[in-house]
Amino acid sequence: MKKILIISDSDVGRHFIQRAIKTHTSDNTYYIIEPKESVYEDVNFTRFKFYQFDPTSLYKLSDVLKMEFLQVFIAMEDPLDIENTIKNIRTLKKQLRIIVLSKSKVDNEDSNAIFINSNEILASRLLDYLPNVPVIAQNVGIGEGEIMEVLVPFGSSFVYRHIGVIEQKNWRIVAIYRNRKLIMPSRRRMIQPNDLLLLVGEPAVLRSVYRAIKRELGQFPEPFGSNLYLYIDMNIINHKTIKEFVRHAIFAHTKFKHNLIIKIVHPNDIAIVEYIQEYRSENIIINIDYDGTTLESSFHKDIKLYRIGLIIVSKELFGDFITKNMLYEAHVPVLKISDKSFSSVSDALLVLSDNRDLEKISSTIFDISAQMGFNIELHNYMNEYQEEKEQVIEHYFNLSTIFSKSIKVIKDTDNPMKTLKQKDNFIQILPFTFKLTKRRIYSLFSTDSELLYYKLNNYHQIFIPVQL
């Protein structure tokens, strides 16, 4: 039988005692100390023992503390009474666990005491009812946001996505509540509007997931970041095309309406650097690295410092093996700009493969297309396995209804890579997966359309990470 001591001198304390009385368990015996007698309903006096005295009196409290208690609860109004009561307990019991409820902050460094601020709890509970604020579990786990519930709005990027294609790294969807009924998630389960998702994971990751679920069209590059990053390595990029490349990047910047950071490394042409410097403005920051000794660490530092959500590079930079791996490790979308006109692009093309990675990045594709004014074309090579492709096509048609954006599905009997090379101008959008970081020689005899992306190197391409 475990002995619990409750010291109460407040309305909350009395409510707590009444709730304990109604908790049907025979494992605990409760000893209640109150300065004044209170009346409680349905008391089992074999489990509850009541004392009436001032707990700030060491003499009187010492008589009760002759017994061995598992822990003590203190719920008192006066902070001075709380402080003196804790001192009395520690005089007699150095290691006894104490839980203290107070309306104000109590200055105490007792390692065996837990202090609960009732005002903070009430404010946090009210916060749960604010719109667009994540609801986190307060009394489960460590209570820091590792358990969260999120209502999926109608225009969410998660609507009509299968759970199996949602990349869940360091977090999981553990339950779905639909029409006030619990639904256990499975890989083939599809998320619907107004579903309430119960998420478990690292608090920082869940906050990103929350923003992703609540995100609607017009917010890209969120949730990856806030700003655009134009990366120019003048040892690699073709100097003859660099001015046109910068103009294309500036055009993309005007469409997405976010700050643009221009990073120049190995600045070996003063005239070109001065040309780029002319674009400096309130929304365009120019950062020149004259050292160039720690490019990779400097690059990743910039991604975090500026909260980069889209990296813009030339086709030469993306073709460089080391640079491409560095871009992949950033887990940020990459816009690779070619020599063709960027402002005249009207079509965003997706080449379907026998995996469902395009479903994972579908909301980002619709967002980019909406902001840039692109039409969406899905190219389906009919000589390949179709079941996975049909599910992706179904998903895109569902999203097209939500976002009021039409899509076109083109059935190719010839290899689409050959067909697309005949097209005048477009932008290809692909999932940015690890297999794209391999050297080109390993894909020479591959039939995987994603690995053959380099065959369309003369066209603009966007590579989107499949992870949040």
Question: How would residue 292 be classed by pLDDT, with cut points 50, 70 and 90?
Answer: low
Count Cα atoms within 13 angstroms, Cβ side, for 22. Answer: 7
- pLDDT value at 211 more than 80: no
- pLDDT value at 139 more than 80: no
**Higher per-residue confidence, 139 vs 310:** 310
Provide the token pair at 227.
């700003």
% of the chain surpassing 90 pLDDT: 44
% of the chain surpassing 70 pLDDT: 94
Domain boundary assignment for the chain: 2-122, 131-214, 227-337, 347-465
CB-CB neighbours of 355 under 10 Å: 17
- pLDDT value at 271 more than 80: yes
Indicate the CATH number for domain 131-214: 3.30.70.1450
Quote the CA–CA distance of 186 and 182 in Å, as a whole number.
Answer: 13
Q: Which CATH class is domain 227-337?
A: alpha beta
Check: CB of residue 359 under 8 Å from CB of residue 162: yes
- pLDDT value at 103 more than 70: yes
Looking at CATH, the fold of the domain delimited by 347-465 is given as Rossmann fold (3.40.50)
- pLDDT value at 398 more than 80: no
Arithmetic mean of pLDDT, 65-69: 92
Quote the CA–CA distance of 391 and 50 in Å, as a whole number.
Answer: 66
Segment 344-363, tens digit of pLDDT:
899 999 998 877 788 888 88
Q: What Cα–Cα distance (Å) separates residue 101 from each residue in 67, 109, 146?
A: 23, 15, 24
CB-CB neighbours of 301 under 10 Å: 11
**Higher per-residue confidence, 315 vs 217:** 315
How confident is the prediction for the chain on average, in pLDDT? 87
- pLDDT value at 182 more than 90: yes
> What pLDDT shows up at residue 371?
87
> What pLDDT shows up at residue 299?
92
In CATH terms, is domain 2-122 a member of 3.40.50.720? yes
Task: Write phi, then psi, for 288 (nearest 5 degrees).
Answer: -110, 125
**Higher per-residue confidence, 131 vs 164:** 164
Identical fold at 227-337 and 347-465? yes
Arithmetic mean of pLDDT, 55-68: 92
> What pLDDT shows up at residue 6?
95
- pLDDT value at 268 more than 70: yes
> What pLDDT shows up at residue 193?
87
- pLDDT value at 293 more than 70: no
Across 101-105, 323-327, 404-408, 445-449, the highest mean pLDDT is recorded for 323-327
pTM of the model: 0.63
Of the chain, the end-to-end C-alpha distance in Å amounts to 49
Quote the CA–CA distance of 268 and 290 in Å, as a whole number.
Answer: 9
Arithmetic mean of pLDDT, 178-182: 90
CB-CB neighbours of 174 under 10 Å: 13
Question: How would residue 120 be classed by pLDDT, with cut points 50, 70 and 90?
Answer: confident
Provide the token pair at 198.
């119960």
